[in-house]
Structure 1
Amino acid sequence: MGLMGLTYGFLVALIWGAQPVVASFGYRASLDIFDLTVLRFAVSGLVMLPFFIKAGVRNAAGIGWSKALILLLLAGPLYNMVLVGGLHWAPASHSSLIYPAFTPLFTSLLAKLMLDKRDGIPMLGLSLLLLGVIVVKAGSILQPQSAAYAGAWRGDLLFMLAALMWSFYTVLMRRWNTNPLSVVSVIQVGGLLYVPVYFYFAGTSLFQLDANAIAVQAVYQGLLVSVISVLLFNLAVKQLGAKASMFTALMPIVGVSMAIVLLGETLTSSVLLGAVLISGGLFLSLTPVGK
């Protein structure tokens, strides 16, 4: 493997794995899911706007508006609200484990139904993913971290719903054979439609909150997660091929570690075991069949 390809992959895993932790810091600064969503798409939408205009507004960057609106519904502001909204009830460590575990499961099932093919998740990988989630959930019931997470099941369900939405988005992109960069531009620029709606209902109260917290969320969610990580992943794929997807297996380790160190979340035996099982399941699930 090339050194640069490995570097790109590790950076992607770091950015994606840290997302629940960074969003949790936003909550602690009194930002809510609507604030976090507008900061994300206001930045990413403006960054991708020149490409979108150049690619063609009339035909939605070559995708077609009917398809573009469906993709926007699945991966745009609503998706972000579902994913980030889960952190209102559940700890960041749960998001770091449950979302990466269910995404390949849902994607494999939907690919079989909608693409008439099987993506090939080995039975052992499938078993480890499900067992890891069960361990985490059993631990949260038997060893609750605190009263603050008494309703963690609500957040966990939202993480699962976000995984389902992203899986539909992924499978539809493949079914329609869309250009990845064009889709990114459509999603981010389309998210700008949420900005005036937000300010109509919320007014300018956002700007009365901590300016540093706003800047961190805008740069991280709007630039690093939405734009830079996607470009880094594409570069990793260019150098490493399909092996680049293996770095997704690092997300649970990155997310759980950062949640413990930076947020002070408790490292329970169930979370530790769940992280190991899910990471192993992801690695096996993302390994090409026959390799």
Structure 2
Amino acid sequence: MAFKCMRRGHSVSVIFGISCALIAVVIWGGWIVYTRHSVLSYLSPLDVGLLRFGTPAVLLAPIWIKSGLIPSGVPKRVLFPLLAGSGAFFSLSISNGMTFAPAAHTGALVPGTIPLWAAAIGFFIFKEHFNRVRLLGLLVMFFGALLLGGASAIFDSITEGAWRGHLLFLFSAFMWACYAHAFVRSGLSAIQAVAVSSVWSAIVHAILALSFGSSLPSIETDLLLWQILVQGLLSGVIAFITFSIAVKRLGPTRAAGFTSLVPAIAAIGGFFAIGEPLGIIEIIAIIFVTLGVVIASGGVFQKSSGRNLF
């Protein structure tokens, strides 16, 4: 009886983790579409970062004031990837990548490769083991991500220097995967991680804004409020917290697998919201990415056999 209760409790925990992961990826998929439209219209990448990290830094001030800017008890080897992996360095690398390559490639080359980076880190550093089903799921995800934009991005624009942007996108995905592994080993709660990462990222963006300027003061009030809602509250707080909860419940590699849904969500959202083309290749890629997530997530009910090296 006790064993059945434990199994039931574990299943509920996993289902809750999956739900949190899905909430996060839906928000991030919508964020890509909304941000793409905003950057093309009236916002700079620096402004996006100011709103995305400034809002949670203010809202969660009591949290980071209590825990401190450098929380005690967090292993030193975890601290840098925890603060940089999901914060300013992640955001700035994507933003700078967009100066070399089209923003449409972001969805394919960042969230589409995060699970692969997370799996590689888990395998080579933390000695995690993956069964054949999960490996197949990762391969299907990778193929779908490449089909959705990665392959064409690499081969069609290489002579124009777009490869610099692609490298930055891949670096961004690597940083986020590092954050996922660091967070689960940090001992921090989801809201603590959001608060501390946001305040450090807000400081970095504020320094850059003082140096290079910002267009936020000239934006109309209603547009600014919408940006605060989308960039700051939804993407900066809710998605961040729900993904962090998913990492705790599912593990970093399994939680990262759900981010491969973001390219599909962004592609569909771009088609319906801002009229971006969605051809047969994109549709096939969406099917592959979604199928890969379904296959790989079949292992979420299995306990990881990896060792904690920190």
> Same fold judged by TM-score > 0.5?
yes
What letter matches 1:223 in structure 2? L
Instruction: Output the CA distance in 1 between the equivalents of 2:244 and 2:229.
Output: 20
Q: How does 1:1-291 map to 2 (within 5 A)?
A: 10-54=22-66, 56-57=67-68, 59-60=70-71, 62-63=73-74, 67-88=78-99, 90-91=101-102, 93-118=104-129, 120=131, 122-135=134-147, 136-139=149-152, 153-203=163-213, 205-233=215-243, 242=250, 245=255, 248=259, 250-288=261-299
Single out whichever of 250-259 and 132-141 deviates more from structure 2. Answer: 132-141
Query: Contact between 2:261 and 2:289, CA under 8 Å: does it hold in 1?
Result: no
Distance 1:200 1:50, change over 3 A: same
SS at match of 2:68: coil
What letter matches 1:29 in structure 2? S
Single out whichever of 42-51 and 67-76 deviates more from structure 2. Answer: 67-76
Instruction: Output the CA distance in 1 between the equivalents of 2:276 and 2:162.
Output: 14
Deviations 1:83-136 (A, max 9, x none): 344444555553233322211111011112221223557332232123223323
Instruction: Output the CA distance in 2 between the equivalents of 1:237 and 1:170.
Output: 7
Instruction: Output the CA distance in 1 between the equivalents of 2:54 and 2:277.
Output: 34
Distance 1:141 1:104, change over 3 A: closer
Shift of 1:156: 3.6
Q: State the TM-score, normalizing by the size of structure 2.
A: 0.75
Instruction: Output the CA distance in 1 between the equivalents of 2:226 and 2:48.
Output: 10
Query: Contact between 2:118 and 2:181, CA under 8 Å: does it hold in 1?
Result: yes
> Pairwise CA RMSD of aligned residues?
3.5
Instruction: Output the CA distance in 2 between the equivalents of 1:58 and 1:134.
Output: 39
Distance 1:140 1:192, change over 3 A: closer
Query: Contact between 2:75 and 2:186, CA under 8 Å: does it hold in 1?
Result: no
Deviations 1:219-253 (A, max 9, x none): 21111112122344567789xx5499475454333
Shift of 1:45: 0.7
Question: Percent of pairs identical after alignment?
Answer: 24
SS at match of 1:22: helix
What letter matches 1:190 in structure 2? W
Instruction: Output the CA distance in 1 between the equivalents of 2:226 and 2:30.
Output: 13
Q: State the TM-score, normalizing by the size of structure 1.
A: 0.79
SS at match of 1:118: coil
Q: How many residues align?
A: 282
What letter matches 2:74 in structure 1? I
Deviations 1:190-231 (A, max 9, x none): 223124313421345431234444332222111111212234
Instruction: Output the CA distance in 1 between the equivalents of 2:281 and 2:162.
Output: 15
Distance 1:204 1:257, change over 3 A: closer
Query: Contact between 1:62 and 1:182, CA under 8 Å: does it hold in 2?
Result: no
Where does structure 1 lack aligned partners over 5 or more consecutive residues?
A: none
What letter matches 1:17 in structure 2? G
Where does structure 2 lack aligned partners over 5 or more consecutive residues?
A: 1-10, 303-310
Single out whichever of 163-172 and 112-121 deviates more from structure 2. Answer: 112-121
Single out whichever of 228-237 and 201-210 deviates more from structure 2. Answer: 228-237
Single out whichever of 12-21 and 176-185 deviates more from structure 2. Answer: 176-185
Shift of 1:141: 7.5
Distance 1:115 1:100, change over 3 A: same
